[in-house]
Structure 1
Amino acid sequence: MHLLTYCADGDESPRLGARLGARLGDQVADLTALATAAGTRLPDDLLGLVRAGEAALTTARTLLAHAGPGHPAVRPLAEVSLRAPLRPGKIVGVGLNYVEHVAESHRTLDTERELPDRPVLFSKPATAVTGPGQPIRHNADLTKQLDWECELAVVIGEPAFRVAERDAWRHVFGYSIVNDVSARDQRRSGQWFFSKGQDSYAPFGPVVVTADEIPDPQDLDLSLRVNGELRQDSNTRHMLFGIARLIADISSGVTLEPGDVIATGSPSGVGAGLVPPQFLQPGDLVEATIERIGTLANPVVDAR
């Protein structure tokens, strides 16, 4: 399933939906309304659905199998406004997780030349999350080096603590996209929180694709464009530490809870690594694309 959160009809109240797909003309189904019409119940939001577990997912799949154009709970996707799929309890970012990005970071950002021997982790607060089409805030009083990073997002489905790599996959609910927006000139004595965690620095979406629909998340093309020009182009198979290793490493000391997100790292091609460096400016449009998930597009606006 391609699960999403949306608003419609001038009502800013978020609704739980699912994309029915191109074969049905890119329709979105209101899952809560479908459940009500069928005399059953589903959570009102995606975080609730994640926490409700497999039984709720089975109900959602059954409801969607009987929905289509013409159903009162189904409408064209073009008629709704997408929001971030959910607000994670925490976002765990992974730095320096693609070999070529390690090299460009050493050259331009003063990081170590050697490949890390264990995942480099940092956090982004939930307040950094923004949704598809929502603005990335550029405050020139705080940064002159606003940068992009297209990353595969792993959404946790079951609590994970001290999980072995071989068992990690059972804790994955699904996958999405995070643009790990970064103010390169706001790193503080090696600490990345303010550089990575300001409001709007975690565009997230447009959907969460359930794990059953992505058989190999370690073989997905990902790319990023700024104003239509290709900046990043890679594949998740080039991760230094794969998803299972990341879950095992993080959960060795931190409990991952349903709805938490792991942003699995950026490939090369960030603005700081270009010659000369290029950074985001108000008026830019950033589009992060991952195979089987879609495109997450966000404008950059002046936030002063």
Structure 2
Amino acid sequence: MTGSVWAFSRALSSIKTRLISKELANICVPFSAVRCFSVTQARNMKLVQFTYNTKPDEVRAGYMEGDDVVDLNKADGSLPLKLVDILKLDCAVERIAQIKAKKPQGVPLSGVRLEAPITNQDKVIGVGLNYLDHCKEQNLTPPEVPMIFSKFSSVIIGPNDAVKLRTEITQSVDWEVELAVVIGKECTMIDAKDAYNYVLGYTVAQDISARDWQKKKNSGQFILGKSMDTFCPIGPWIVTADEIKDPQCLDIKCTLNSVVKQNSNTCQLIHKIPDVIARLASVMTLYPGDIILSGTPGGVGMHRNPPEFLKPGDKLISEIQSIGTLETRVVKFDQCGCK
């Protein structure tokens, strides 16, 4: 063929390749064959933190055994009380798995109060504009690199706590259901192919956001709009990573007052979990207990017509397939700090 015809053929082939690649990126294809885990059945766990009804101020770590909670410190007195401190130990998950294999007795859920499954972590990190449908509802081009922001770790609350609205300073508080990735061991300067080795597991989260403070009242910086007290419910437990076949092919849904607002799948994630972890670890050290909020799908209140926002008396139900359901009440902020 002539040089011009050959050049045109090469260009057409390149365009087809790019189009096919773009379509494949949106298909849920499990990639468990390349996952970097070495696990036993005993490791499949739902990790929790809780307080006994008789000791409401002492937070303890455990795991679910059916409808019971097993207290890790009672099963092994050498273990710290809180999960983040257990994770700092060598072979922490393996030690928990060894306890589980011995089948110690648990206590009924009726005798405890489930708290946030991980607290006192170093960092809570968010990824913005990371779902295709969320970008589409804003008519935005998906970002070429992950858009990273932070929330203070003090925002974390559990499945029995309420989001508390400071209605005197904001009337634009939004919901954002998210898959939360929990880091299990310290990592820095790692490759994406190794990222899953550092994941403890996953939980359900709400990246509650005061949109007026996020967009206008802090010169475009997200931190104050994202970090008001109680603005990150998580729970009810952390499902260990070996229970999740593919974290990027899970149904994810948010319901407000019995009306479905967000209904999507994590296959819509633009920047995949291993790539996000590797990018973060290239500039900072991630520590045990650190949380990465992987992004929210379309359906948030700010982009509805007309916009909708949370108010005292609302009830959020956040669900992620294979992980669980997180129910969250919305109340007016009370300076006494009562639960």
The aligned residue for residue 110 of structure 1 is: none
Deviations 1:232-276 (A, max 9, x none): 111111100010010111111111111111000000011112222
| Aligned-residue offset at 1:301 | 0.6
| Aligned-residue offset at 1:62 | 2.5
Mapping 1:116-131, distance limit 5 Å: 116-131=143-158
Does the 8 Å CA contact 1:157/1:172 hold for their aligned counterparts? yes
- 2:63 pairs, out of 18, 33, 50, with 18
Alignment-mate amino acid for residue 115 of structure 2:
R
Mapping 1:181-220, distance limit 5 Å: 181-187=208-214, 188-220=218-250
| Aligned-residue offset at 1:104 | 2.3
**Cα distance in 2 for residues equivalent to 1:135 and 1:245:** 33
**Cα distance in 2 for residues equivalent to 1:76 and 1:98:** 38
Deviations 1:192-249 (A, max 9, x none): 1111111100111111111111121111111111112111111111100010010111
Is residue 136 of structure 2 the alignment partner of residue 91 of structure 1?
no
The aligned residue for residue 27 of structure 1 is: 68
TM-score normalised by structure 1 residue count: 0.90
| Aligned-residue offset at 1:59 | 2.7
| Aligned-residue offset at 1:43 | 2.6
Deviations 1:79-119 (A, max 9, x none): 3211111222101101000011113245xxxxxx2211000
| Aligned-residue offset at 1:2 | 0.4
Deviations 1:45-101 (A, max 9, x none): 1102222243x3223223223326xx3xx1112332111112221011010000111
Is residue 159 of structure 2 the alignment partner of residue 132 of structure 1?
yes
Alignment-mate amino acid for residue 183 of structure 2:
I
Does the 8 Å CA contact 2:164/2:230 hold for their aligned counterparts? yes
- 2:190 pairs, out of 153, 160, 163, with 163
**Cα distance in 1 for residues equivalent to 2:251 and 2:257:** 20
Does the 8 Å CA contact 1:132/1:204 hold for their aligned counterparts? yes
**Cα distance in 2 for residues equivalent to 1:238 and 1:267:** 8
Where has structure 1 moved over 4 Å in runs of 4 or more?
none
Q: Secondary structure at the match of 2:88?
A: helix
Is residue 136 of structure 2 the alignment partner of residue 103 of structure 1?
yes
**Cα distance in 2 for residues equivalent to 1:122 and 1:57:** 29
Pick closer, same or farther for the CA change 1:19–1:206 going to 2, 3 Å: same
Q: Secondary structure at the match of 1:215?
A: coil
How many residue pairs align between the two structures? 285
Q: Secondary structure at the match of 2:185?
A: coil
Does the 8 Å CA contact 1:53/1:157 hold for their aligned counterparts? no
Alignment-mate amino acid for residue 252 of structure 1:
S
